[in-house]
Amino acid sequence: VPTRVAPMPQPPVRPSVAVPSVAPLGPVPPPSVAPVPPPTAVAPPPVAAAGPAPVRPSGEKAPPVPAPPVHVVPSAPQSPPPGVAVAARPPPTVGTPSAPGPGLTPGQRKGLVVGGIAVVLAGLALVFVMPGGGVEVRNAQAGERVYVSGVLLAADRSLPEDPGGWLVSTAVDGRLHRFGKVSKAEHIDLRTLADAAPQADAKGMLSVTGPAGCRVALGSQVLESATPLVSPMPAGREFEVRVTCGGKPDVVRWVMAVPGQSVALDVP
């Protein structure tokens, strides 16, 4: 007789439990700290163009999006619409220079400059204009001394009276340089004089008049005779003549005789 076997009892059904699909996480290591770079000026990130938002599952809220930084850009001047008249901008005002003070004007400064140049040129040309109606000596070399009738020209450039003119000579470094006859005029141009050739043992004459009994020294030599006197002297050389009278200051003159010339010196 077949025997029926009762079915095995089923275990009780357990409620379903959600099993995570990811293995449980172990201990999380601490995050590595990178060195902080020095602060640098970083340009703001470009704002991406608006596009379709990503599709999110229903029921999920989108995270809040931070507002992009606002950069104020100066707006360019807008051109007025056509047909609208725009008032012209007034030109910038320029301060008017104040009137010059009591100083020199440009014209006066220019005059001073021109005058200074003229003085320099006159000095280079060695043209001397003497005050008080004195004679003007032109074209003298540096260090050239002028003698009129054998006597050194005075500081006031006054000439002795001589209707027939004067014998003018010049000396450089104590020696006769040039000489010639000059008629009466307001100036003496030394370029018209002839160069002097050296002459050995040339002689001239010295005449000294004035108070009687005065001693006369020609250079370092004291002449034997007293004033009035006439004495020979070497020609072509400069000499200092010193006249000494008792109780009066000495009278000093410079003389130079051209060969054969007689130099007259009157002592007051």
Enumerate long-range contacts of 111-119, CB under 8 Å, 24 or more apart. none
Domain extents in the chain? 107-197, 203-266
Class of domain 203-266: mainly beta
Say how far apart CA 68 and CA 51 lie, in whole Å. 16
* pTM, to two decimals: 0.51
Bridging pattern class, strands 262-266 and 203-209: parallel
- How does pLDDT run along the chain (268 residues), one tens digit per residue? 455 555 666 655 555 555 444 444 555 555 555 555 555 554 555 544 444 445 555 455 555 555 555 555 555 555 555 554 545 565 555 545 454 445 667 666 666 766 666 554 444 444 333 344 578 899 999 999 999 999 999 888 888 777 678 899 999 999 999 999 998 777 889 999 999 988 888 999 999 999 999 999 999 999 999 999 999 999 999 999 999 998 899 999 999 999 999 999 998 8
